[in-house]
Structure 1
Amino acid sequence: MQIIPVKELKDGAHVSEMCHATDEPIYVTKNGYSDMVIMSAEAYDAMSERVRRSEAIAMVVEGVAAVQRGEVRNAFEAASEIRAKYGL
């Protein structure tokens, strides 16, 4: 983990090199406190993709759990009931 003070951002080329040298975020401090986090666009895109995949997996897991809890119905049966109810 890298931590730099905000004043180092003045040297943009150096900070860019630091970002591209690692896939990890760089924490920027202001007055000794964490202020922001920076990373290369490539590292950010990779991290975002991992998050999207994790969210998709979580949705599938929740769907399976709903089936196991009996909270879902067969689509064909539900459609038949709707057609019968509304005379479709």
Structure 2
Amino acid sequence: MPKIIPIKDLKNTAEISEMVHSAEEPIYVTKNGYGDMVIMSVEMYESTMKRLSMYRELELSEKQIESGKTKDARESLGNLKEKYGI
């Protein structure tokens, strides 16, 4: 279940830091009862960005496959072996 805190709780920075590092998901911050911000540790942010990048690359690959922009792997490896005398 997501952790939700009011914005006034951000005053206690040491407690917030401990909270974001121990949480396994982002912490939602509300202002006047409505969602305002999301905070997370640097490690979680970097992990999320890596995952997002991977999904973007997969999406690009799927689009290339759909549009026929692919090459046969065996043929490509054969060409490389021939080119570099492997």
Q: TM-score range by the shorter chain?
A: 0.7 to 0.9
3-state SS of the aligned residue for 1:4?
A: strand
> Where does structure 1 differ by over 4 angstroms across 4 or more consecutive aligned residues?
none
In structure 2, the residue matched to 1:10 is 11
Query: What do residues 15-34 of structure 1 show as CA deviations (whole Å, max 9, x unaligned)?
Result: 00010002300000000000
Give the conservation status (yes or no) of the 8 Å contact 1:23–1:39: no
Give the RMSD, CA atoms, in angstroms. 1.3
Q: How do 1:18-33 and structure 2 match up within 5 A?
A: 18-33=19-34
Unaligned 5+ segments in structure 2 are 72-86
SS in 2 for 1:3: strand
- Count of aligned pairs: 69
Taking only the aligned residue pairs, the percentage that are identical comes to 43
Kindly name which structure, 1 or 2, has the bigger radius of gyration based on alpha carbons. Answer: 1
- Structure 1, gaps ≥5 residues long: 75-88
- 1:62 paired with 2:39, answer no
